[in-house]
Amino acid sequence: MGSVKKNAVYNILLAVSQVLLPLVTFPYISRILQPTGVGTYTFVDSYTQYFVLVAALGIPVYGMREIAKAKGNYEERSTVFSELLSIHFLVSLVVFSFYVTSFFLLPQLSAYGTMFWIGSTLLFSNVFVMEWFFQGMEQFPFITIRTLVIRLLTILAIFVFIRTKEDTLLYYAINCISVAVNAVVNCWFAKGFIKFSFRGLHFKRHLRPLFYIFSTGLVSSVYTLLDSVILGFLTNTEQVGFYTTAVKLSKILITILVALTTVLVPPLALAFKEQRYADAKGLLRKSFDYVVFISVPLSMGIFVIAKPLILLFSGHNFLPSVTSLKILSPTVLIIGLSYVFGQQIINTTGNERYFLRCTMIGMLISLLLNMLLIPHIQQTGAAITNLTVELTVMLLLIYVALQKVPFNPQWVNLLKAVIACLPFFLISYWVENMHWPLLFQLISIIIASGAAYILIQYFIWRSNLFPEIIGLLRKK
């Protein structure tokens, strides 16, 4: 449990840096590039990321699990690593040809040809980033330090080189270069843990589980990546810019929840493999409690400060994003719970086919609602679709997961967290009527709401989670 806590601290630090990067850069970028520039970048990147996802073939999820199982055996993990890296590279070559062909043939894409060529580097950079290997080996200190350094350099480059709304291309290039640098550093560091070889490789054993995980990722990407692409095809890049702003601000804090859930995947995979079910259920209960404790106030908080948040980070030009941000605010909680029941239970126990079925239902709902709503209410329609699909998939995952591993989550803690957040609305109403400067309003609402939440949790509900988190951080 000690290593899990240590890894959680490193991953939380990593997640905080991932939150701070857009918090630092997005107010600057949105004002420089304007809604059209932000929309163009997002349209190209969302389209490219879909091909990156296809090329990865589910390896980021599957690879972490398999490396965790082979962690103690040098020869076995070297073989697994060599097999998965080879598969990823070969598939990327095939996907690259389709990617390039698509932006030559489709008129909606050909106008952004140069950006798509830059984006093509992501297909191969992501092969050698191989984050799944270091996560499976639980090398979270390395992941954290490396990422912090590269993110700081990326922030510096953005402020130095991005000066006008014509710099959208350069902004995308900087982001792609940062991924390539990650790949180079990772390849150098990985040499100490494995020996790559083409001998004795057996690709076939990975194909079945990869198929289910890949299919799940591909299907779910319809409502996580392609919503922006569909919006761009059916409307314009300005609407994509409005929607992107809402999505970015609503989901930016999800990285903290993902950090908590990710560090538990390797020990959970090992516990299930060794049939230590009591230990696994204990980890799952703790994970559920942490996700609820953190995600409920984040969701409620985003809802109450949606307008000042948009004004501060994006400016008056992005005010149409406020409604979408409020609609999307519950997704912080919803996606957090989906990670617990989906990634930690269904995927970790080898039941990927059930995850696939849940996401296929979500994909069908996404396509139907996007086609019905976007032509009429544009970015708001995309936001409603996003929320509906995430909620549906979460409920399906919970049902399936509890059938497989009935670990008895404490649902009453969810209700307690919601009640503890009710003062947020009164605090927000009072502060906004004081007509203070915008930044001071936000800081006041966040501090007062956070204090109210913690006091209610600790003194009324007698929750011990906050002292646990503080104690964990003090140890490290």
Per-residue model confidence as pLDDT tens digits over 279-291: 888 888 888 888 8
Q: Are 387 and 299 in contact (CB under 8 A)?
A: no
Per-residue model confidence as pLDDT tens digits over 134-179: 888 888 788 888 888 998 999 999 999 999 989 999 999 999 999 9
Residue 424 lies in a domain: no
Average pLDDT, stretch 429-436? 87
Token output for 99: 């990617």
Alpha-carbon span 171 to 442, nearest angstrom: 28
Average pLDDT over the chain, rounded to whole?
86
Alpha-carbon span 111 to 115, nearest angstrom: 9
The answer to whether residue 292 scores a pLDDT higher than 50 is yes
Alpha-carbon span 38 to 231, nearest angstrom: 14
Q: How confident is the model at residue 476 (pLDDT cuts 50, 70, 90)?
A: very low
Question: pTM of whole model > 0.75?
Answer: no
Residue 434 lies in a domain: no
Alpha-carbon span 174 to 397, nearest angstrom: 37
Average pLDDT, stretch 427-454? 91
Alpha-carbon span 446 to 70, nearest angstrom: 44
Q: How confident is the model at residue 107 (pLDDT cuts 50, 70, 90)?
A: confident
The answer to whether residue 324 scores a pLDDT higher than 70 is yes
Residue-level pLDDT at 189: 87
Q: How confident is the model at residue 3 (pLDDT cuts 50, 70, 90)?
A: low
Average pLDDT, stretch 414-427? 95
Tell me how many domains the chain contains. Answer: 1
Residue 315 lies in a domain: yes
The answer to whether residue 475 scores a pLDDT higher than 70 is no
Residue 472 lies in a domain: no
Alpha-carbon span 365 to 386, nearest angstrom: 10
Per-residue model confidence as pLDDT tens digits over 296-321: 999 999 999 999 999 988 888 889 99
Q: Provide, rounded to the nearest whole percent, the portion of the chain with pLDDT above 70.
A: 92
SS (HEC) of the chain: CHHHHHHHHHHHHHHHHHHHHHHHHHHHHHHHHHHHHHHHHHHHHHHHHHHHHHHHCCHHHHHHHHHHHCCCCHHHHHHHHHHHHHHHHHHHHHHHHHHHHHHHHCHHHHCCHHHHHHHHHHHHHHHHHCHHHHHHCCCHHHHHHHHHHHHHHHHHHHHHHCCCHHHHHHHHHHHHHHHHHHHHHHHHHHCCCCCCCCCCCCCHHHHHHHHHHHHHHHHHHHHHCHHHHHHHHHCCHHHHHHHHHHHHHHHCCHHHHHHHHHCCHHHHHHHHHCCCHHHHHHHHHHHHHHHHHHHHHHHHHHHHCHHHHHHHHCCHHHCCHHHHHHHHCCHHHHHHHHHHHHHHHHHCCCCHHHHHHHHHHHHHHHHHHHHHHHHHHHHHHHHHHHHHHHHHHHHHHHHHHHHHCCCCCCCHHHHHHHHHCCHHHHHHHHHHCCCCCHHHHHHHHHHHHHHHHHHHHHHHCCCCHHHHHHHHHHHC
The answer to whether residue 446 scores a pLDDT higher than 60 is yes
Residue-level pLDDT at 259: 67
Q: How confident is the model at residue 4 (pLDDT cuts 50, 70, 90)?
A: low
CA 115 to chain centre: 23
The answer to whether residue 119 scores a pLDDT higher than 90 is yes
Average pLDDT, stretch 435-451? 91
Per-residue model confidence as pLDDT tens digits over 211-262: 887 887 777 777 676 788 888 888 888 898 899 889 888 877 777 677 666 6
Residue-level pLDDT at 345: 86
Residue 65 lies in a domain: yes
Q: How confident is the model at residue 2 (pLDDT cuts 50, 70, 90)?
A: very low
86-90, 273-277, 468-472 — most confident range: 86-90
Alpha-carbon span 329 to 377, nearest angstrom: 19
Residue-level pLDDT at 223: 67
Alpha-carbon span 314 to 34, nearest angstrom: 9
Range of the domain at 311: 2-194+203-410
Residue 422 lies in a domain: no
Q: Are 142 and 134 in contact (CB under 8 A)?
A: yes
The answer to whether residue 115 scores a pLDDT higher than 50 is yes
For the chain, the residue count is 476
Q: Provide, rounded to the nearest whole percent, the portion of the chain with pLDDT above 90.
A: 39
Q: Of 19 and 100, which is predicted with more confidence?
A: 100
Which residue, among 158, 424, 445, 167, has the nearest Cα to 312 in the 3D structure?
445
Q: Beta-carbon neighbour count of residue 252 at 10 Å?
A: 20
Per-residue model confidence as pLDDT tens digits over 47-67: 898 899 889 888 888 888 888
Residue-level pLDDT at 112: 87
Q: Is 436 helix (H, G, I), strand (E, B) or coil?
A: coil
Residue 430 lies in a domain: no
Burial class of 315 by CB neighbour count within 10 A (0 to 12, 13 to 18, 19+): middle
Residue 400 lies in a domain: yes
Residue-level pLDDT at 449: 95
